A and B are shown apart, each in its own frame.
Chain A
Amino acid sequence: GQNIDQPTEMTATEGAIVQINCTYQTSGFNGLFWYQQHAGEAPTFLSYNVLDGLEEKGRFSSFLSRSKGYSYLLLKELQMKDSASYLCAVRENEAGTALIFGKGTTLSVSS
């Protein structure tokens, strides 16, 4: 079956580094996406991994290990505005097909 697991909640302080983990079990794999969703708003795209390794984009990085069915999102130099839900999503098939989403990790950043 399909299963994507993420921690439900995490807390951190401004300026710190936080790592949000995601493990997945799906029947196919053609990419893993991370989305950010602020309360009451739409999910917005953060990153995409399809090959093993680290993808860096400013303060955010995402890592993938396909053999372990594992990814993480790394947020550096945390800011208050980073308080949001972070959604891990897997695409099983080719481009243009649906994503399977985890339930999201709610990150609270305090001063």
Chain B
Amino acid sequence: DAGVIQSPRHEVTEMGQEVTLRCKPISGHNSLFWYRQTMMRGLELLIYFNNNVPIDDSGMPEDRFSAKMPNASFSTLKIQPSEPRDSAVYFCASSLTQGRRQPQHFGDGTRLSIL
């Protein structure tokens, strides 16, 4: 079975540009999570969705960040305008909502560098 698929794997762009990260969750999973990982702060939750509805976006740093989930098989995380401090690895993860043993399954991440 295909796992969580993220694109692009790497993105290098200049500050001020718009960046769009994409995620396809595992088929049948109804929870989707966006995390950001840096050396300093570790893995931090940005936002998560249940059944395509945003539940908690308190981790989104500021208005420059936005996320959407238009359907059960696709989500985007957008940064506009991007800044050098946004450089990090962005992970998408998905899980089932039912069953407390259900772990989150992570995609391979997008390594973002803002120059």
Q: List 8 A-B contacts (CB under 8 A).
A: A30-B100, A42-B106, A43-B91, A45-B103, A48-B101, A87-B43, A95-B97, A96-B50
Question: What is the predominant secondary structure among interface residues of chain A facing chain B?
Answer: loop
A50, A96, A104 — most chain B CB neighbours (10 Å): A96
Counting residue pairs across A and B whose Cβ atoms lie within 8 Å, the total is: 62
Residues of A contacting B103 with CB < 8 Å? 33, 45, 48
Pairwise interchain contact B98-A99, C-beta atoms closer than 8 A? no
Instruction: Given A41-B108, A44-B106, answer yes or no on A97-B55 (Cβ-Cβ < 8 Å).
Output: yes
Pairwise interchain contact A104-B105, C-beta atoms closer than 8 A? no
B31 in contact (CB, < 8 A): yes
Closest chain-A Cβ to B11's Cβ sits at a distance in Å of 15
Residue of A nearest to B44 (CB): A101
Pairwise interchain contact B100-A95, C-beta atoms closer than 8 A? yes
Residues of A contacting B97 with CB < 8 Å? 95-96
7 more A-B residue pairs beyond the given contacts A98-B45, A98-B48, A99-B104, with a C-beta to C-beta distance below 8 A: A33-B104, A95-B97, A95-B98, A96-B95, A96-B96, A98-B33, A102-B42
Residues of B contacting A41 with CB < 8 Å? 108
Number of contact residues on A: which range applies? 20 to 34
Near B by CB (< 8 A), chain A positions 74-111 give 87, 91, 94-104
Pairwise interchain contact B48-A94, C-beta atoms closer than 8 A? no
Candidates A45, A95, A102; contact of B96 at CB < 8 Å: A95
Residues of A contacting B35 with CB < 8 Å? 101
